[in-house]
Amino acid sequence: MKRSFFHVLGGLILFFVLQSCSEEQDFDQFDDLSITPTVASSIFYLESDEESINAVNSGPFYYQTVNFDAFNEQFVSERLLEGTITYEIENTTSKNLQVSIEFLDDNDNVLDTEFFDIDPNLPETFTREVAYGPTGKNLAILSATSGLRVTGSNLSDDTTVSNNPNPKVILRSAAEFIFRLK
C-alpha cells in the first residue's frame, strides 16, 4: 500500500513538474536578433625626436607603408556599417611639420589622404576624428584599404632646436568599427 502511494505521489509530482516547466519554445527568435559589435584597435604609432628630424637635410624624416588587412575578408568588409579613426598629435619640437596618411588599395592606388599641418610647440595634444559611413566619408575607402603610407616632412629649417626637454613629435591613431554580424 505504501508502495502504491509513493508511485502515485511520484507520478503526480513528475506530472506537475513537467507541466509547470514546459513552455513551447520559439526558435524563430534568432531571425529577430540584430548583433552589431564595436571593434576597437590601434592602427599605427609614429614618434621622432627633433635631432632625427634635423638630421634629414631633404625629403621626409619619416616614411613607412603599413599593412592594413583588417577588411581583406569579404565576410568582414560586407558587414562593416561605420567606423571612426582617431588621430592624436603631440609636437614639442621647434618644427612646423606636415604628416600625410594615404589609404592604399591592393595595387597601391591612393583611395584617400589625411593631411596634418602641425605647428611647433603644441601646448596640448591635438585630436582629429574622421568618420566613415552614413555620417562621414565613403565606407568603401575602409573596405578597400589594404595599406597605409605615412609620410612626415619638416617644413622648417634643420638647425633650430626646441627649448623643451626631449622634444619630439608623436602621432597615434586608433579606430572603432561597427559591424552587423546578423
Task: State which residues form the domain around 58.
Answer: 28-179
Residue 126 sits in a domain of what CATH number? 2.60.120.380
Residue at 17 is within a domain: no
pTM for the model stands at 0.76
Residue 78 lies in a domain: yes
Could you list the pLDDT tens digit for every one of the 182 residues in the chain? 666 766 666 666 666 666 665 566 666 655 555 566 677 788 888 899 999 998 887 779 899 998 887 777 676 777 788 889 999 999 999 999 999 999 999 899 999 999 999 999 988 999 999 999 898 999 889 888 889 999 999 988 888 888 888 999 999 999 888 887 66
* CA atoms of 171 and 103, how far apart (whole Å): 16
- Structurally, the chain folds into a number of domains equal to 1
Q: Tell me whether residue 14 is in a domain.
A: no
Beta strands in the chain, from DSSP E residues, in sequence order: 38-49, 62-67, 80-91, 97-104, 110-118, 126-132, 147-154, 168-179
80 lies in a domain?
Answer: yes
